[in-house]
Structure 1
Amino acid sequence: MTNTIFQGKSLLKEIDFTQAELAYLIDFAIHLKALKKANIPHQYLAGKNIALLFEKTSTRTRSAFTVAANDLGAHPEFLGPNDVQFGKKESTADTAKVLGSMFDGIQFRGFKQSDVETLAAESGVPVWNGLTDTWHPTQMLADFMTIKEIFGDYVGKNLVYIGDGRNNMANSLLVTSAILGVNITILAPDDLQPEAGIQQIAAEKAAETGSKITITSNLDAVKGADIIYTDVWVSMGEEDKYDERLEALMPYQVNAELFAKTGNDNCIFMHCLPAFHDLDTKTMSEIHDKYGYDELEVTDEIFKSEKSVVFQEAENRLHSIKAVMAATLGNLFIPKV
C-alpha cells in the first residue's frame, strides 16, 4: 500500500499542504537527519531520475537537492539557464512535457511562480519549488525544523522577521507561521511590507490556528521575540535598488542593540543565507567602497555569536528537502497524517 497523502504531489507553495502535512514533513526530516548521522541507508528513490532546473544561482538549494537525491538512491541531473529555454525558444509547458516524460521528479529554482506552476500542471510528475520570486517553501521546512530542534516545538513561539518585508522569504515566513501556529511579526518600513493578498492568506490561516500576526515598522516589536530572522536587503534581480534599500533598511539592521530590545536571553538568530555580515565577499567590498558600510542586514558580531543557528539551519535544507522528495515520490507507507 502506498500513501495517497503525498505520493505524486508537488510542493509549489506553502499552502499546498495542511498544517498536519507540513508538521509530518518536518518530523520526517528530523528522522532522516538521524538516519544520515547514523549512516543508515534510506534509498527510497532507487532508480529514479531527478531534473534540477536552475534559472537562479544557488549554493544551498543545489547542494541539498543533489545530495538528497544521491542519499535517496536517485540520479540528479543539473540543467542551468543555458540548458533549458523557460519560454525563450520553447514554451515552459512544452519543456514540462518533455522533462516529465524522461524524469520522475523536477526541482525548479527561478523567477516566476507561474513557471513552476506550469511545470507541475504539464509534466505529470512531482515538482518542487526551490525558490521563486514569490515563495520559498523548502526553506520553510528547514527553518521550522531548526526551530523545533532548538526549542522542542515551534507552536506558540514568537518569530520576528526584520528587513525587506516584500520578498519571498517574508511571504513564506508570514504564511507558514500562520499555518503552523507560530506568532509572526513582519518588521519593515511601511513601503516594504507584504502585499495585501499575501497578508490575506496569512490572516485566513491564522484564524484557524490562533497564530498572532503583527505587521509594523516599529522596532519595539522585537520585544519578546524567540527568533529574530532577517534576509538580504536586495534580492536577485534587484541589484539596481541598493541606494534606496540601504537608506531605508539600515535602521532595521540586526545588531546587539536590537537583540537587547527582545528582553529574551534565549532568542536565536536565523538567516537563509548568503548574508552580508563582513567584507569577505566581492559584493560587500564593492558596497563598502561605494557606501562605506562593513556589514548590512546583520552585524558580524551577531552572525558569529552563540545566538546564531544559521549553519544548523543551512544543513537542514538537505534533510527537509530529502523528506519532501521521499514523501512525494518514494511510495512510502504513510497511513494518515
Structure 2
Amino acid sequence: MATRHFLTLLDLSSDELSYLIRRAISIKNGLKTHGPTYTPFSNRTLAMIFEKSSTRTRVSFETAMAQFGGHALFLSSRDTQLGRGEPVEDTARVLSEMVDAVMIRTFSHQGLEAFAAASSVPVINALTDDYHPCQLLADVMTWTELRGQIRGKTAVWIGDGNNMCHSWINAARQFDFQLRVCCPEGYEPRQDILAAAGERVTILHDPQQAAQDADLITTDVWASMGQEEEQAKREADFSGFQVTEAMLDRAAKDVLFLHCLPAHRGEEISATLLDDPRAVVWQEAGNRLHAQKALLEFLLLGRVES
C-alpha cells in the first residue's frame, strides 16, 4: 500500500473518514468487552515529535500503541537534532528508516508538510497552528455515538477562527453538514479554507443567533498556545461570546456541547457548563484514543472491516 499521510481531513476521502468513525466505535466497543486483546502492532513503533506541549495527545497516542502491542517514542525538540537546526527533511528520512509512523505536534503546518513530503512512512498531524484533524475524528465519533448520522445536521463553532475552526470547516465538507462559524469581527477563519467549503459554512457575529436550533455547539480557548500575550485583548474582544447553559437552551432540545480541552472556565465557557448533561467533553476526550487507534490501523494496515 502506498504511504498515506494524515495532515488534514482532506487527505482522506469522505468514505474513508466515515469508515474510520465506524471502525473507531467498533474498536472502542471491543476494548470494553474483551479488554486490550487486539494487538496488531507487534514490534511496530510510532515516533511522537512534540514541539508543543500536550496532555490528551501524548496519552492517547502512547496508550493506543501500547494497547495495540506496539511502542511509542516521545521526542521533544530538546531530544532531537531538530532543536539544533537539522532540516526537517533530513530528520524525516532518518526516522523513516527506523520507525513505522511519525506523529508530530508543532507550530508550522508548512514544516509538517515538508516533513511528510520527505517521509516514506505515514505522518500524522497531531496539531499545527493551522489544523487539528485528529481532534475532529474524536468529535465526529462522539457526535455519531450519541446522535447517529451527522449528514445534514447543523454545528456551531463559537470563538476564534483558529486551527480547530479550520478543521471544523473541513469536517463540514467531508461529512456533509452545515457549520455556522460565529466569531468577533477580525477573528474570522482563513478565507481560502472558508471559500473551499462553499455553502456548507456561514459566518456570523451574533452568538445567540448562531446557537438557534443548532444540533451541536463547540468552542475553544480564546488565546491558543503562543498567543498568551494577547490574552487581555482577546478577553475584551470576545466579550459576549462565552458559551453558557442559556445559550444551549436556544439550540435544539438534544443539542450536544463539545470542547477540545483544556477549557478555561469562566472565559470561553461558563463556570458550570461542563457539569451540564448536554456537555459530553469527557467522552469526547476519551474518544481521542479510539479514533487514533482506527487512524493508525488504517495508515499501517489498511481497512480492517469488522
Q: How far is the alpha carbon of 1:159 from its aligned partner? A: 0.5
Letter in 2 for 1:8: T
- CA–CA distance in structure 1, aligned partners of residues 227 and 212 of structure 2: 31
Aligned partner of 1:94 in structure 2 is: 90
Aligned partner of 2:229 in structure 1 is: 240
1:189–1:331 Cα change, 3 Å: closer
Task: Choose which of 44, 50, 54 in structure 2 pairs with 1:54.
Answer: 50
Q: How far is the alpha carbon of 1:71 from its aligned partner? A: 1.2
Q: Is 1:145 matched with 2:133? A: no
Aligned partner of 1:229 in structure 2 is: 218
- CA–CA distance in structure 2, aligned partners of residues 119 and 69 of structure 1: 22
Task: Choose which of 102, 111, 115 in structure 2 pairs with 1:106.
Answer: 102
- Deviations 1:215-263, CA, capped at 9 Å, x for gaps: 110221211111110100001001111121000112100012322332x
Identity %: 37
Aligned partner of 1:311 in structure 2 is: 282
The question of whether the paired residues in 2 share the 8 Å contact of 1:85 and 1:92 is answered with no
Q: Is 1:13 matched with 2:8? A: yes
Q: Secondary structure at the match of 2:126?
A: strand
Q: How far is the alpha carbon of 1:85 from its aligned partner? A: 3.6
Please give the residue correspondences for 1:1-337 in structure 2 after superposition, counting only pairs within 5 Å. Answer: 4=1, 8-38=3-33, 39=35, 41-86=37-82, 88-165=84-161, 167-203=162-198, 212-219=200-207, 220-262=209-251, 264-277=252-265, 295-330=266-301, 332=303
- CA–CA distance in structure 1, aligned partners of residues 26 and 97 of structure 2: 32
Off by >6 Å, runs of 4+ in structure 1 = none
> TM-score under structure 2 normalisation?
0.95
Q: How far is the alpha carbon of 1:333 from its aligned partner? A: 5.1
Q: How far is the alpha carbon of 1:21 from its aligned partner? A: 0.8
Letter in 2 for 1:147: W
Q: Secondary structure at the match of 1:299?
A: coil
Letter in 1 for 2:195: Q
Q: Secondary structure at the match of 1:185?
A: strand
Q: How far is the alpha carbon of 1:332 from its aligned partner? A: 4.9
User: How many pairs were matched up?
Assistant: 304
Letter in 2 for 1:185: R
> TM-score under structure 1 normalisation?
0.87
